Amino acid sequence: MSPKDLVDQTCQKCANQSKILSYPLCSTSLPVIPVSHSANLQGLALIAMELALENVTSTIETIDKLLDDETVISSIVIENLKDCMEMYSDGAWTIVNSIGAFLSGNYEVPVNWMSSVMESASTCQQGFVDKRVKSPLTTENYNLFQLSGIAVCIIQMSNPVARAS
């Protein structure tokens, strides 16, 4: 099986297993990392976690810029952005620790931790919805949710214990 086929089949399987995961996002995100073209399933799981970490890092920068320009946003948005900043900062550490756990051969812990990162992205978005204000982080939250979900799916697929049963 060619690496392109592995990415495509993996993304298709994840999208088929979950109505919330986006095949197009998966199939266009993973190949952006050049090593994906020669990666196995475990490598794809690491790539998905790395992409989620890149998303978190760039979103933290975006939040910083938005908070620096308080003239453009309301106090409600500022409050939500600060909450999101905390969630994204926690998410960065969670993803780094998930990568470490995964590399040590532990598959269950990163599944739980990456699922919590998905929840953080949803919670950040919901904070704006609840206050009836437009979220300046809709795209970032969606992408983090998707990338974390893709990572969870691939981690579960690459778990040798789960595959053996």
pTM reported for the whole predicted model: 0.92
Would residue 57 count as lying in a domain?
yes
Domain count, the chain: 1
Would residue 30 count as lying in a domain?
no
Q: Which domain holds residue 67?
A: 49-164
Would residue 61 count as lying in a domain?
yes
80 contacts 137 by C-beta, under 8 angstroms: no
Token pair belonging to 64: 């910083």
pLDDT at 30: 94
CATH number, domain at 159?
1.20.140.40
Could you read off the pLDDT of 38-89 as tens digits, one per residue?
889 999 999 999 999 999 999 999 999 999 886 767 888 899 999 999 999 9
Would residue 21 count as lying in a domain?
no
Would residue 8 count as lying in a domain?
no
Would residue 86 count as lying in a domain?
yes
Could you read off the pLDDT of 82-126 as tens digits, one per residue?
999 999 999 999 999 999 999 999 999 999 999 999 999 999 999
CA atoms within 13 A on the CB side of 48: 36
d(C-alpha 73, C-alpha 143), whole Å: 23
d(C-alpha 138, C-alpha 134), whole Å: 8
Beta-strand ranges (E) seen in 24-164 are none
